[in-house]
Copies of this chain bind each other. A is one copy, B any other.
Amino acid sequence: MSTDSKYQLLANELEEAIHSGRLAIGSRLASVRKVMEQRSLSLATVVAAYRTLEERGLIEARAKSGYFVIGKSAGAKSSAIKSPGASVATPSTSPVNANCPDLELFPRQRLHRLTASVVRRHQYLPTTYAHGLGNTKLRGEIARRSADFGSFIRAEELIVTNGATEALSLALRAVARPGDSIAVETPANPLFLALLAELHIEVVEIPALSAQGLSLAALEQALLDHPNLRACLLVPNFHHPTGALMPVATKRALLALAERAKLALIEDDVYGDLQHEGPRPPPLKAFDSNGSVIYVNSYSKTIAPGMQVGWIAAGRWHAQIEASKQSVAVATAELPQLVLYEFLNRGSHVPHLRRMRQLLRESTQRVHDGLARALPKECQWVVPAGGYFLWLELPTGISTAQLLEQPALAPLGISSGRHCSVRGDFDHCLRINTSLLDQSAIAPFAVALERALAG
């Protein structure tokens, strides 16, 4: 093997590690000398590999301290501009997304093979407009799977979207005009709050219980206080960020309330397939007999984060959202839909999801054990029954946004709760992505936290 290909192999291997998150942004690469010894490579080979990664904008050399992972930053931009003739196509993918499970959990090789096969068979994809409502075969698969958990959504009721974000945006625009109000369980997914701000819709925060989610009494009060309350946007199954699972009785009661009050329910079910044990919990949509629920889901958290394929079953608002998607929204690309169709049609999701659930259960348990051993007694949390978020409450008065400014206190997977409320109510809370948090980071984090609490 030539030196040429050796350095490229090493560079590609490290690039994969960075893109998968195994080598996190900010971490230091092993020294050139160490890699030479470990792998019996020449100085030139290792240096060439590291320089290649530098050119790709993935790492940077810092004087006297070595090479550090920077992901895609200003460095990458300027190198792309300086050497536009370079032939290596570097994707500008961000290695870690704190809202997503560890990328190692996804069926990368299988999806890659399916993608190559679909591309081979469909040569007109790059030059043909995609169908606005989505691929009919994929819609058929989604419809069939929805029956598994009692929703019985028909393919004609489904519109494929560019991920859950577009689906939520379509749903919100269908039910509310600028100046109207939407109720949101808080703490909330910060994306929801950003989306509502962008659409000039007022947020009415409904306190949610950390184990069971939305409080019906609080929602009833909000209906009294806000006559222009058009809908409630919620995550009944493994809520982000609390991990709460709404009991079936509450789901039924909520639907009855929504029907009486003519309130739309926008249900984000992207974590619904990630129960840690037992059967998949039914969504609200499973109990919806008159089209009050606009159901939103995607494959980004469960199968393919890079494909951005979501869908919406919009109940009473179907015709309106269909028109909106066809006129002004972006048609969803055909290729990823065909790949997901093949993946589902061959049943590949069954073993994949089984394995993913088990790994999420294990990582959640590990984080819980680590927290229980190390954290001060004032800290509280509930172990979630699904998904990969754990909500940690510190004593009020603590500002986690400030705390996390110290690098030792900000391991990968932990972020402040401040942005989970419009009013910043949850600055004393932490959102933990249990699939990203390394167990070895818990003990030093706990020590630093204890010191901060004492100070």
Contact residues of A with B, CB < 8 Å?
16, 19-20, 57, 72, 76-77, 80-81, 84-87, 89-95, 97, 100, 103, 106-109, 111-112, 115-116, 118-137, 139-141, 143-144, 154-156, 162-163, 165-166, 169, 173, 177-179, 191, 194-195, 198, 200, 304-308, 324, 327-331, 333-339, 341-342, 345
Contact = CB atoms under 8 A, between A and B. Distances in A.
Contact of A136 (B80, B333, B337, B338): B80
16 contacts: A85-B345, A89-B118, A90-B137, A93-B129, A94-B131, A103-B124, A106-B126, A106-B127, A108-B127, A126-B304, A127-B304, A127-B305, A128-B306, A194-B327, A198-B327, A198-B328
Nearest to A198: B328
B80 A16 contact: no
A336 B126 contact: yes
Contact of A140 (B81, B166, B306, B337): B81
A307 B191 contact: no
Nearest to A341: B89
Nearest to A74: B156
Say how many copies of this protein the assembly contains.
2
B92 A19 contact: no
Contacts of A156: 77
Given A191-B327, A331-B308, A129 B94 contact: yes
A104 B345 CA distance: 32
Contacts of A307: 126, 333
A328 B169 contact: yes
A91 B306 contact: no
B306 A345 contact: no
A306 B130 CA distance: 6
Contacts of A92: 130-131, 133-137, 334
A57 B339 CA distance: 19
A109 B116 CA distance: 16
A92 B123 CA distance: 14
B123 A103 contact: no
Contacts of A329: 165
Contact of A330 (B86, B135, B166): B166
